[in-house]
Structure 1
Amino acid sequence: MADTTGEPLADTVADALAERGSAGTMPALWLGIAAGLQIGFGGIAYLVASAGMPSGAGATHLLAGLAFSAGLMLVMVTGAHLFTGHAMLSLPLAQGRVTGAGLARALGLVWLANLVGSLIVVALFVAAGGAEGVDGAVAAIARETAMSKVAKSGGTLIASGILANMLVCLAVWMASGATTVAGKIVAVIAPITLFVAAGLEHSIANMTLLPLGWALDPAAVPISGIARNLALSTLGNLIGGGAIALLLGAGHGAFERN
């Protein structure tokens, strides 16, 4: 069996990222919307797992993180385009395989497509009465989650976004080396459970959690707070994901072999 760790995996990831960076507009849009939908499903799973549970219990956060990991499992198995994974385009950029303009185009296109997919999930979930699940506990935890996110300071959001996407990109990196559906699923579980349980900020997950909070209580979750959170968590995610890709790429000699 071919080695799917270390240097071979670094080359596999770099090749896949270079391909993502040059994807056509329509495929990137469709697959970006799909990723927004899938991470949105993960957000719903997080809320349902948290509903009615002791909010201060570590076990609750771990369970909710495990539930949320279903979103990235779907992304990795279906090959959808997720903005936070695209943050690792820093690697092919450093290799000269993607231009700065190409990087900006790919990131902007996928971010917007992820937003569209996320908002579709929110609209359908509200219309379906999903927020009233678990005797209204889903709505309660959705409001609580959104309010806590918009209340964080700017520095906290950036630092939290950096850590969150370090873990997400490590999950994507490991899952890229798996050759089976089961392998991709297993690779995702630990890093994603950890980032969610730690309360870190993932911009695409927030595209579901924050608009849902607004839909349930606009006064408590203002649009300005949502925009601020998404802007700063996006910046943190870009830094964290980009740094992880460059660190692993350099360590495994991906620049010398290009």
Structure 2
Amino acid sequence: MTEPQADATGPAIAEAAPELFEGKAESGWTRMAMLAVVAGAYIAFGSIAYLVAQAGPPGGATQLLSGLAFSVGLMLTMVTGAELFTGNTMFVLAVDRHRLTAGRMLTAWVVVWFGNLIGSVVIAVLFVTAGGGSGVEGLVGDSAVKVATSKVTKDTLALIASGVLANMLVCLAVWMAMAAKSVPSKIIAVIGPVTVFVAAGFEHSIANQSLLAMGWLLQDGGAITGGAIARNLALSTFGNILGGMAVAMMLGRAQLDE
């Protein structure tokens, strides 16, 4: 696969992106599924870091620190080449360029989404079993329940809009990281957009897989039910798809059609 050079400009990234996305979508199902499980675990580690930061005093500084802490999840994903559903929503650009069929894209999305779910839930269960909720004198567990409750009680339009915004920022981070040839440059590309989306409280479906699982496991009765979790994941996933497609088409198609 052709990769953009380290000093790639926007058009150069757009030119290389369809082939990169095609290669990812056309990889073997077993490899794809395994890398998706790994990515789910990485994002769950970011969720844990986020909850630890959330145990601090409320305020804008804590929100920004929480976003910075969570960014470790996408850093791990980008540096190791794992498969993350939200970034893969940009496969639509490869479909638009006739390098990938819509059927293959949709199947890859399903495989990666459920692989991410497995990795997310495994880490969430291990974290709770290890006593992670008792961290910072129990404030980590309190934060997990509070965050999860706020997510499952959002109204429909808020969840979808929040999902769009979250994945626009995530895909911008991925787009920039695609041009990076070194580990430090990939990390720098990820930090800003991820910090913003997390600090703002936007809805990232894969992060929610672990955050909602931890909140559900740590709650002592409450609003975090199986149905509420499914609703959040369905609506945030829909919003994420729209956000990822928007970034791919705006940055990719606009520059390729010049």
- TM-score, normalised to structure 2, is 0.96
* Match of residue 77 from structure 1: 79
1:1-258 maps to which residues of 2 (within 5 A)? 3-51=7-55, 53-55=56-58, 57-217=59-219, 218-253=221-256
Within 2, Cα distance between the matches of 1:225 and 1:5?
Answer: 43
Amino acid at match of 1:167: L
Deviates more, 1:169-178 or 1:15-24: 15-24
Within 2, Cα distance between the matches of 1:183 and 1:148?
Answer: 34
**Partner SS state of residue 202, structure 2:** coil
Amino acid at match of 1:232: L
Aligned length: 253
**Partner SS state of residue 54, structure 1:** coil
Which runs of no fewer than 5 residues in structure 1 stay unpaired?
Answer: none
Moved over 4 A (4+): none
**Partner SS state of residue 222, structure 2:** coil
Within 2, Cα distance between the matches of 1:140 and 1:43?
Answer: 14
Amino acid at match of 2:189: A
In the TM superposition, what is the alpha-carbon distance from 1:2 to its structure 2 partner? 5.8
Amino acid at match of 2:116: N
Contact kept, 8 Å, 2:152 with 2:223, in 1: the verdict is no
Within 2, Cα distance between the matches of 1:177 and 1:252?
Answer: 15
Within 2, Cα distance between the matches of 1:155 and 1:25?
Answer: 34
Within 2, Cα distance between the matches of 1:184 and 1:27?
Answer: 23
Within 1, Cα distance between the matches of 2:218 and 2:144?
Answer: 8
Contact kept, 8 Å, 2:6 with 2:180, in 1: the verdict is no
Give the RMSD, CA atoms, in angstroms. 1.1
- TM-score, normalised to structure 1, is 0.96
Within 2, Cα distance between the matches of 1:250 and 1:104?
Answer: 20
In the TM superposition, what is the alpha-carbon distance from 1:21 to its structure 2 partner? 1.4
Amino acid at match of 1:237: N
**Partner SS state of residue 252, structure 1:** helix
**Partner SS state of residue 64, structure 2:** helix
In the TM superposition, what is the alpha-carbon distance from 1:251 to its structure 2 partner? 2.1
Contact kept, 8 Å, 2:177 with 2:185, in 1: the verdict is yes
